[in-house]
Structure 1
Amino acid sequence: MRLTLFFLFLSCAISSGQITDVKKFDFTKADSIALAHKGKSLGNLPVLTHELTADLTTDVEKFRAIFTWVCTNIENDYQSYLRTRKERNKIRKDREGFLQWNNRFTPKVFEKLVSERKTACTGYAYLINEMANLAGFQSKIINGYGRTPTLLLDLDDPPNHSWNAIKLDGQWYLCDATWSAGKVMLDDVGPRFEPDYNDVYFLPDPNLFIKNHYPLEKELSLLEEVPTLNEFMEGPVLYVEAFSYGVIPTVPQKMRLEAIRKENIGFELEVPGNFEVENLRLTLNNGGRDFEVQPKITTLAAKKVLLEYAFERTGLFDTHIKVGDNIIATYVIRVRRK
């Protein structure tokens, strides 16, 4: 009973957290400390965590040094991911069983992480959690679904990803060290990890994060209104550049749409206050050929923009919303005559 009450208290505390803009912080010192400790052993985590955080004053900077170190020192192991996915698939319909299995399995992943400095998402999340706790922060491993442009999901799929919630200066944030560390390349050579540190998944806006991260425990989304799992899986494909620009596609909520030829279809976006809306573009792909079109752009409110476009011909179109040359989201639109 006491454990249950504690979990309920923790869940309520997490769900009511208010997110502060962290972009005001200068992380130069924190990142420099992380770089100076590159290659340090995981054999003594308390010492490593102390060395990363001792010379920093704010909670956010201390956690930044931990996050940057993990992302730039641990290799994403695709074979570990495949083994984890196989085990997860066995119990995909048993939510409680999955959570119990994950709690038992994660420390085993950490043993390999220490010896080989490589892991799947479970190991990244566990390491972030352990080092955050050692630094004096409250943290939680989150299990759920991660959706990428090359990995679309349906309701029969098992949970496939893990990330973290972290409490800093009395407020809860989200982060994903796995996706910030780099990417796994699948080509003729075979699966290989390509390091490419990108901090866009360091304490991102939860309203954007929910577009490609869906937690099994909904309160860990940090949102008051959480979409259903089906709504999450039917949403538009989101790219990492959406996080770089801070652009959130809000309407339409589904990726697959129908439109009438020569009638406007609209796309609503939430954008940062200093965003230059004239950089928005649409690129259409039909039959393997890309061509760029310029939509009508209307500012609806201080941070809301509407893109409108009328298709000239019928067919099936991959419709990419772009900022400059970078795709941020994709819809698939079937255009018919009437």
Structure 2
Amino acid sequence: MMKLLTLLLSGVLFFSTTISLAQEIDYSEIDLHARQAPKKFHQDLDKLIKYLIKPANNDYERVRSFYSWIAENIAYDIQLFRNYRPSSYQPLSPTDVLKQRKAVCQGYAELLQEMCRQVGIKSYVVGGYSKGFGYVPKAKFTVADHAWNVISIEGNWYLIDVTWGSGGINEKMKFVKQFNELYFLTDPKVFVLNHLPLAPMWQLLDCPVPMKAYAQGEKQIKEYLNQNVGRCANYSKQIEEFEQKPNEEQVFFAAKMAYEFNPDNPVVLARAYMDEANQLMSSIPRQLSSRESIIEATNTQETALNYLQKAQELVKKVKDKSADHEKKLISNNISTSEQNLKGLRNAIK
């Protein structure tokens, strides 16, 4: 999934009191410490983390140190952005991002998440629809094009986009490094003006902004927020329900929520079905020594095929070329699954 980067911003955004505690912290010394990290630590994640958190007194300052270092030291990969192909794109690991010192936003977000994980701070990488470089006003959002982080500090959820915090792409398609703290613990009502997550719970708004209002523009978003205060479900309950599920069920939970939220993008749910099918097929033993084991494998294969067929029906709804890779992959997997199922049924006879 390719990630787009915002143009450099010149305006000032004002945060609400919902993150006043975090705003009361003076981060200037933390930022300076992060920027002075010795180069000998830059490619050693463990040593870099230990250095960055050394002066921090709380998790807010730890995350800020990570944010500042990543924003100052990782560049946006313009070449990958321009040459992106779904079939060939391989996300970089956090270690690879450190080595290459450049990434698209998935790499930025996963590096921040890994840093948080190593110091016991809960973080998720969230995919969604952005209004960054290449955004066309009022166009339909059919493909997720960006990724960022949600983190939990002292029981509260916060939004961070370290990619947009690092700079932007100018009109000449060049990356311009410019530290931007606006996307550090951003007020959700500000963040949603140009970031809309696939699953609405990650808006961190009790009344999540619908896709229609988001697509129409900033005026409509603000009007919706003003009209719907206090009349919707609590997002924290949805996140709690999500976190209580086993990891393999979390993907379906979020994917189904994403599809219900925006039916114009069925690919996210199709991928979830395909991933589940592949996991089921890989769980079937190569050697089946009894009739009972063959029957069990047959049932598993039938379930996997059912998931693949559901995925195929979903991607058929995509009329442009954006899902061509998924369509081909699902079709190939269905053929393999049908062949395996035929062999298993013959073995039962």
Same fold (TM over 0.5): yes
Offset at residue 230 of structure 1 (A): 2.5
Structure 2 partner of 1:194: 176
CA displacement at 1:157 relative to structure 2: 3.5
- Deviation for aligned residue 1:23: 1.5
Equivalent residue, structure 2, for 1:251: 223
Higher strand share: 1
The answer (yes or no) to whether the contact 1:124–1:178 under 8 Å persists in 2 is: yes
Which one has the largest radius of gyration?
2
Q: What letter corresponds to residue 193 of structure 1 in structure 2?
A: F
C-alpha deviation, 1:186, in angstroms: 3.6
User: Aligned partners of 1:77 and 1:150: how far apart in 2?
Assistant: 16
Tell me the distance in 1 between the aligned counterparts of 2:44 and 2:96: 15
Q: Is the 8 A contact 1:144 1:213 kept in 2?
A: yes
CA distance 1:54–1:236, shift in 2 (3 Å): same
2:94 touches 2:114 (CA, 8 Å); kept in 1? no
Change (3 A) 1:209 1:156: closer
Cα displacement (A) at 1:69: 0.4
C-alpha change, 1:82 and 1:158, in structure 2 (3 Å) is: farther
1-side partners of 2:99 and 2:155: how far apart?
34
How far is 1:42 from its partner? 4.2
The answer as to 2:25 corresponding to 1:25 is yes
After superposition, the CA RMSD in angstroms is 3.0
Task: Please tell me the residue identity of whatever aligns with 1:181.
Answer: S
**SS of 2:19 mapped into structure 1:** coil
Residue in structure 1 matched with residue 135 of structure 2 by the alignment: 151
Query: 1:123 is matched by which residue type in structure 2?
Result: G
Alignment of 1:231 onto 2:213: yes
Tell me the residue number matched to 2:294. none
CA distance in 2, matches of 1:183, 1:166: 23
Maintained 8 Å contact 2:97/2:103? yes
1:33 maps to a residue whose letter is H
Pick closer, same or farther for the CA change 1:182–1:26 going to 2, 3 Å.
Answer: same
User: Equivalent of 1:171, from 124, 133, 156?
Assistant: 156
Deviations 1:175-197 (CA, angstroms, capped at 9, x unpaired): 1011110112242xxx3211110
| Deviation at residue 251 of structure 1 after TM alignment | 3.5
Give SS of 1:37's match.
coil
Cα distance 1:250–1:40, how it changes in 2: closer, same or farther (>3 A)?
farther
**Aligned match of 1:45:** 45
For residues 163 and 64 of structure 2, what CA distance do their matches in structure 1 show? Answer: 15
**Aligned partner of residue 159 in structure 2, secondary structure:** strand
**Which residue number in structure 2 is paired with residue 185 of structure 1?**
170
Secondary structure in 2 matching 1:178? coil
* Alignment correspondent of 2:109: 125
**How far apart are 1:55 and its partner, in Å?**
2.0
Q: Identity of counterpart residues, as a percentage? A: 26
1:102-121 equivalences under 5 Å are 105-106=90-91, 108=92, 110=94, 112-121=96-105
User: Contact (CA 8 Å) 2:130, 2:195: kept in 1 or not?
Assistant: yes
Question: Contact (CA 8 Å) 1:182, 1:196: kept in 2 or not?
Answer: yes
- Is 1:80 aligned to 2:89, yes or no? no
Partner Cα separation in structure 2 for residue 195 and residue 60 of structure 1: 24
Provide structure 2 residue ranges, at least 5 long, that are not aligned to the other structure. 1-16, 228-349
Cα distance, 1:28 vs structure 2: 1.6
TM-score (structure 2 length as normaliser):
0.54
